[in-house]
Amino acid sequence: MRMAIPILAAAALLAGCGGRPEPRAVPSVTGERLDVAEALLDSAGLSYEVAGGGTFGVIARRRWQVCRQEPLPGREAAEVTLVIARSCNAVPPGRGGVVPDVEYQALDEAQDELLRAGLGWEIEAEGRIVVRSRWEVCDQEPAPGEWATTVELYVEREC
């Protein structure tokens, strides 16, 4: 009986820790090194995920730069997506360009291709995206070959 009380107390404590994080004001981290941006978001109490990173992923965080962030600075959010590249000078984000065909690609690969094209994106999905490589782009708007600054990606676990 003595062991049951501490175990029940620990279970009750952990049960209250599973809530959603509170939305907070998003700081500006665009243009920062990835390690600096992550530290700023940690200190602001925001979670984040990284989009991009190349074939081998991100190994040395100080060698990657945040080219774009979603949502934009000043907005309220619980999580921030950091779009990264080795150098943001190569492709100015949001300048617009010809939309590539990213249908039936894994979401992380599609985002990398849109970043290389200088395009932003919005994601429509039913459910919470945790591992982007496990989600597939089933449709996109505008169609490939059209000019745009932002592409709407409709993603599912499997098309």
Euclidean distance between the first and the last CA atom of the chain, given in angstroms as a whole number:
52
- pLDDT score of 92: 46
Most confident of 6-10, 40-44, 117-121, 130-134: 40-44
Q: Which residues, 6 or more positions from 59, have their beta carbon under 8 angstroms from its beta carbon? A: none
- Maximum CA extent, the chain: 69
Closest CA to 103 of 50, 159, 64: 159
On the question of pLDDT at 38 being above 90, the answer is: yes
Query: Looking up tokens 């990264």, which residue turns up?
Result: 84
CA–CA gap between residue 67 and residue 91 (Å, rounded): 9
Q: What pLDDT, in 10s, does the model give residues 131-150?
A: 889 999 999 999 998 888 88
- pLDDT score of 12: 47
DSSP codes, 82-120? EEEES-TTSS-TTS-EEPP--TTSBHHHHHHHHHHTT-E
Query: Looking up tokens 């360009």, which residue turns up?
Result: 97
Q: Which residues, 6 or more positions from 143, have their beta carbon under 8 angstroms from its beta carbon? A: 99
- pLDDT score of 102: 97
On the question of pLDDT at 11 being above 70, the answer is: no
Sketch out the chain's domains with CATH numbers.
21-90 (3.30.10.20), 92-159 (3.30.10.20)
Q: What pLDDT, in 10s, does the model give residues 51-108?
A: 887 767 788 899 898 988 889 888 899 999 998 887 775 444 446 778 999 999 999 9
